[in-house]
Amino acid sequence: MSLRIYNTLSRELEVFSPLRPGEVRMYVCGMTVYDYCHLGHARSMIAFDVVQRWLKASGYRVNYVRNITDVDDKIIKRAVENGESIRSLTDRMIDALHEDADALGIERPTHEPRATEYVPQMLSMIGTLEGKGLAYRSPNGDVNYAVRKFPGYGKLSGKSLDELHAGERVAVLDGKDDPLDPVLWKSAKESEPADVKWPSEFGPGRPGWHIECSAMACALLGETLDIHGGGADLQFPHHENEIAQSEGANGKPLARTWMHNGFINIDDEKMSKSLGNFFLIRDVLKSFDAETIRFFVLRAHYRSPLNYSDVHLQDARASLKRLYTALQRVPAASVAIDWSEPHAARFKAAMDEDFGTPEAVAVLFELAGAVNRAATNEEAAKLAGLLRALGGTLGILQDDPDAYLRAGATLDEATILAMIDQRAQAKAAKNFAEADRIRKELQDKGIVLKDSATGTTWAAAQ
């Protein structure tokens, strides 16, 4: 069976085949670095991390670009408010982004281009668009893209220009022939800091957001990408504009497959700053471990809306602990995945159907059940090894099971071990009341004991 991906552009599941055999070129729109990353960013980063991991597990070389927008109105405003330079603010926020992404087990992309390092390529593309009559200079000094001159405008959203207009609340022209025309080059304002002004044939200024991605994708991956991804909120206008710019300039399709991950809702409401139900990754990490957050995201399909609440996170943690408990039972044998093994084959079938992580996770639970039921330790170790290896393709279950299960315990380990020892002595002396009292005392403190032939182990309660 081969990988099928839902293509937003065709609105169909399509068999995936990259332009160059064996190699996948993937571009995903990254962060505008003026503040810390929130849960929406976490979801997008995890979704495409899983995509690139699965492509690698399927034998592809992956050239993955996730850009960084480091010049923008919000960045300028925040830097001025803070009294710091643009570079100091964006450097700090990029460091914070890496901290959050590393914590969530997200592999670094092949390239993370900063927009400010590709201004010459952006200017060159704007020049090409002007030469083809697709861009025009506005009286206010900006250079805009003329959406009415690009016949395919709206094809990603599946809407005509008139339908797209209908979605606008206020038509602000601001020197534009059409309110939908994106700015390619913003002319410099007197009040703006000097480090956001680049000289150009259009006068001093800075690039618009959309042209950044068009230019960086082309510079690093070529004119046609295998996969272009991003959050569903980027479909219009951002991705529609990228298509108009790149295809207008290059005369080739920008991407063969367009992938969009779904929104995050908070307690069934859309997460937004204005509603005040807005969570930063680093704040959620104060209450939940990173692997729990990652597992919570993976339990939903990447295109579905994902509903966040503490209860759902607690449930994800309890479920993840069940998988780790199966791994704890025996030392996991290190195994290369045999994809013909029935569990592995079901896992692969799930992932090959548009990255079906909910079904793939269900297979992990079947495997955990098989580990627990295994007749011999050897059989259990083999299955546990497969469980760990399959988890690895999703970026989970790589922690030491004992360490993972003990995290969050309210007693220190030495105290717990001393109490387990006292209980063993009480049992040896046939003082079962005392042994039960110690078990109960630990249980009240959130520590669960598990007896086996080889001794007693403990874990923090779920």
Tokens, residue 129: 């668009």
When the beta carbons of 246 and 319 are compared against Zn ion, the nearer one is 246
Residue closest to Zn ion, measured at CB? 213
Tell me: cis bond preceding 237? Omega within 30 of 0 counts: yes
Nearest distance, CB of residue 242 and Zn ion, angstroms? 6
Distances (CA, A) of 132 to 217, 226, 456: 20, 26, 75
CB of 238 to Zn ion, least distance (A): 5
Single out the residue of 51, 31, 50 nearest to residue 41, CA to CA: 31
- Shortest distance in whole angstroms from residue 185 CB to Zn ion: 17
The binder of Zn ion chosen from 9, 29, 42, 156 (CB under 5 A): 29
Beta bridge partners of 6: 13
What's the closest the beta carbon of residue 213 comes to Zn ion, in angstroms? 3
Q: Is 115 in the site for Zn ion (CB under 5 A)?
A: no
Smaller CB distance to Zn ion: residue 122 or 213? 213
* Interacting span for Zn ion (CB under 5 A) from 17-25, 205-213, 282-290, 421-429: 205-213
In this complex, which beta carbon is closest to Zn ion, that of residue 217 or of residue 419?
217
Helices 86-103, 73-82: inter-axial angle, 10-degree rounding: 110
Name the segment binding Zn ion (CB under 5 A); options: 21-29, 83-91, 154-162, 177-185: 21-29
Expressed in percent and rounded to 5, the helix, strand and coil fractions of the chain are 50, 15, 35
Rounded-to-integer distance, Cα 462 and Cα 454, Å: 23
Number of residues this chain uses to bind Zn ion (CB under 5 A): 2
CA distances from 257 to 4, 70, 141, 227, 253 (A): 11, 26, 36, 5, 10
Q: In whole angstroms, how close is the CB of 196 to Zn ion at the nearest point?
A: 19
Tokens of 256: 């063969």
In the complex with Zn ion, which residue's Cβ is closer, 188 or 254? 254
Residues 233-292 that bind Zn ion (CB under 5 A): none
What is the closest distance, in whole angstroms, from the C-beta atom of residue 119 to Zn ion in the complex?
Answer: 16
Q: Give Cα 270 to chain centroid, integer Å.
A: 18
Cα four-point dihedral sign 292, 294, 295, 296: positive
**Candidates 57-65, 83-91, 212-220, 288-296; binding stretch for Zn ion (CB under 5 A):** 212-220
Q: Note whether 188 binds Zn ion by CB under 5 A.
A: no
Residue 195 Cβ, how far from Zn ion at the closest point, in Å? Answer: 22
Residue 258 or 404: which CB sits closer to Zn ion?
Answer: 258
Q: Does 213 bind Zn ion (CB under 5 A)?
A: yes
Using the structure block, give the residue that is written with the tokens 């991906």: 5
- Contact footprint for Zn ion (CB under 5 A): 29, 213
